Structure 1
Amino acid sequence: MSGGRGWGVGVPVQAHPALAAAASAALDAYTVATTEHDRAALAAIVADGADGTPTMRIDVLVEDAILGALARHPVNVLTEETGWVDHGSAVTLVMDPVDGSANAAAGVPLSAFSAAVAVDGVFTEALTVWLDTGRSWWAGPGVPSSLRTSGRRDLAGAAVSLLRPHPANPPAAAAWWEVARRAARVRILSTSCLEGALVAQGATDAFADAATDTHRLVDLAASVVLAESAGGAVRDVFGRAVELDTDLTKRWSGIVAATPDLADELAEVLSTAYRAAS
């Protein structure tokens, strides 16, 4: 990592070998996929993922390359499309090969590879790589993190990234607008892992799913390590623990915030507004 900025470029030399192999394969496969295929081909739905949602071709191209690279690293893998791959290891790699698939397929340069390492069920290391630029955020065991959040404690005046509002879900839409009303700035980037990394870097104060239960573990695992190593916190709007679970149909409404105080306030504001509108 580069001093002062909190982020680096490419795959850090300190990274766990399996994590490094996965990230390197993702960067290479993403470059090849976006060079050799047009937008329609990349966005084509080719399967259903392990989480039950449609899988785009770009997801398959990148994930297949990663799984091939991981053949030399017999760790367990929990990944968006294939799901749970059990090698009987104490080490598990929880990853989203292309977070922000719709952005990536459309040519919008906002997508990321993101993964966390869990040892005996506890997240210990994480790496998120912005696929279009190579910018990366890493935190690991025994190494002081250069990441620092903004330190903001209050929602009033905060810069917040949010998943898009869902008009068909009035309680969640009400929760979204309540946060938007209190915050100073709202962004919608459509890439949860990258938005979580930006919180850890201090570029934005918080990121949240406004009570829609959209997040899977692969969307939040890296932020657990990155944000907490930087002084931040990860919460669920409805109080559910964000921890290793191999069931990719399980959902969260995740919050990544600069401080525990801000995370708790966001959870309170969102859950209260959601329940009031239900």
Structure 2
Amino acid sequence: MHFLDSCAVMADKVEEAICGLAGDPRAGAVVGMGADGTPTKYIDKVAEDIIFGYLRDHGLCSGAISEEAGRCDMPSGEGTVIVDPIDGTSNAISGIPYYALSIAREIDGHPEEAFIRDLAHHETFTALRGRGAWLDGRPIRVSETCRLDKATVSLYGRRYQPESLLGLGKRIRRWRLLGASALELAYVGAGRIDAFVDLRGSLRITDAAAGMLICREAGGLISGTDNTGIRYSGDVREGARLVATNGLLHAEIIGTLEGYHEN
């Protein structure tokens, strides 16, 4: 079975397992502390147990990374699988229908395959390095918006530094904050939003790995706020600032953020 087909099987299992949990107080019960240093919620643990169990049983990788479990060895298989079992946990707990399963596989340090399942709407975004990106099997492409005053941007900043957002926020047409980073990166790839900008410095590899590949393969451009490449070590405690755009808006957005990475 192809890796992405296996991801679809895992996603179906997760969907079935959590269908009664979204919006239920049980979903938000703290059941431990994740490797990323944040509390693990019950809904995350349910989804992660399904994914890790399937990976072990089917020999899909030699290692896996999750924000709950951290880096784990697997008994057999090729490459490293990077998982966010529930991207948008707070949305899921609150019953807001915008949360996803995010899975990427790296081989020899290169992201090769990506899979994101919108668990609330049963949409599936996929990508293969060098071959393209798809939504439910149909090719996707970034938007052609070339002016900030026409752009819809998902924009995140530090909670106590709202001024960091104002320079860019004043120039865009629509400001969104949807609460599920992997899915928002996929939305850039699908042309649903024009850019995703996260200035918090806390975006982890588990949040971003699959979404970055989907966005790039759909024609998008990704960098740090200083317009250099994004590099993750695999440590789930490590975060980054990230700018993902349709490419046409990238230079202008980076220009509005000049100097921010030094703060």
Task: Please state which structure has a larger fraction of its residues in strand.
Answer: 2
Equivalent residue letter for 2:83: M
Aligned to 1:77: 64
**2:131, 2:217 within 8 Å by CA — same for their partners in 1?**
no
**Distance in 2 (alpha carbons) for counterparts of 1:241 and 1:142:** 18
1:120: Cα distance to partner?
A: 1.0
Paired residue secondary structure (1:113): strand
Q: 2:101 aligns with which of 90, 95, 113?
A: 113
CA drift of 1:198 comes to: 0.7
- The residue number in structure 2 matching 1:200 is 189
Between the aligned partners of 1:219 and 1:240, the Cα distance in structure 2 is 19
Contact kept in structure 2, 1:42 and 1:58, CA below 8 Å: yes
CA contact (8 A) 1:51 1:81 kept: yes
Q: Which runs of 5+ in 2 are unaligned?
A: 134-138
Query: What SS is found at the alignment partner of 2:80?
Result: strand
Decide whether aligned partners of structure 1 residues 121 and 274 sit closer, same or farther in structure 2, where only a CA change above 3 A counts: closer
Secondary structure of the corresponding residue to residue 63 of structure 1? helix
Question: CA 1:239–1:52 in 2, change beyond 3 Å: closer, same or farther?
Answer: farther
2: distance between equivalents of 1:14 and 1:256? 28
Report the count of equivalent residues.
255
Q: Is the 8 A contact 2:34 2:69 kept in 1?
A: yes
Amino acid at match of 1:150: S
Match of 1:186 among 175, 181, 184: 175
Give the match for residue 49 of structure 1: 34
Please identify which structure carries the higher helix content.
1
**Cα pair distance change 1:132/1:89, threshold 3 Å:** same
- Within 5 Å, which residues of 2 pair with 1:73-152? 73-74=58-59, 75=61, 76-87=63-74, 89-141=77-129, 143-145=131-133, 146-152=139-145
Residue equivalent to 1:29: 17
Kept in 1, the 8 Å contact 2:36–2:67? The answer is yes
Say if 1:18 and 1:70, in contact at 8 Å, map to a contact too: no
* CA apart distance, 1:14: 5.8
**CA deviation string 1:132-172 (max 9, x = no partner):** 11111111146444110003344342110122x4342x3xx
Specify the SS of the correspondent of 2:124.
Answer: strand
Gaps of 5+ in 1: 1-12
Q: CA RMSD in A?
A: 2.3
Deviation track 1:183-242 (CA, whole Å, cap 9, x = no partner) reads 010011111111111110001100111x21120011111122111111101212245633
Task: Kindly provide the amino acid, as one letter, of the partner of residue 229 in structure 1.
Answer: E
Q: Which amino acid aligns with 1:120?
A: D
Deviations 1:74-128 (A, max 9, x none): 3111112001112375411111110100100111101011111111110011111
Tell me the TM-score normalized by structure 2. Answer: 0.87
% identical equivalent positions:
29
Task: Give yes or no for contact 2:232–2:238 (8 Å, CA) kept in 1.
Answer: no
Residues 232 and 144 of structure 1: CA distance in aligned 2, closer, same or farther (over 3 Å): closer
Report if the CA contact (8 A) 2:111-2:129 is conserved. no
Q: Could you tell me whether the CA contact under 8 Å between 2:28 and 2:42 is conserved in 1? A: yes
Contact 1:117 1:124 (C-alpha < 8 Å) held by counterparts: yes
Quote the Cα distance in structure 2 between the aligned partners of 1:18 and 1:39: 28
Give, in whole Å, the separation in 2 of the partners of 1:176 and 1:152: 20
Amino acid in the other structure paired with 1:219: D
The question of 1:220 aligning with 2:208 is answered yes
Letter in 2 for 1:47: G
Q: Is the 8 A contact 1:15 1:140 kept in 2?
A: no
2:136 equivalent in structure 1: none
| Alpha-carbon distance between aligned partners in 1 of 2:130 and 2:244, rounded to the nearest angstrom | 23
Task: Please say if 1:155 is aligned against 2:143.
Answer: no
Q: Structure 1 residues 217, 142: closer, same or farther in 2, change over 3 A?
A: closer
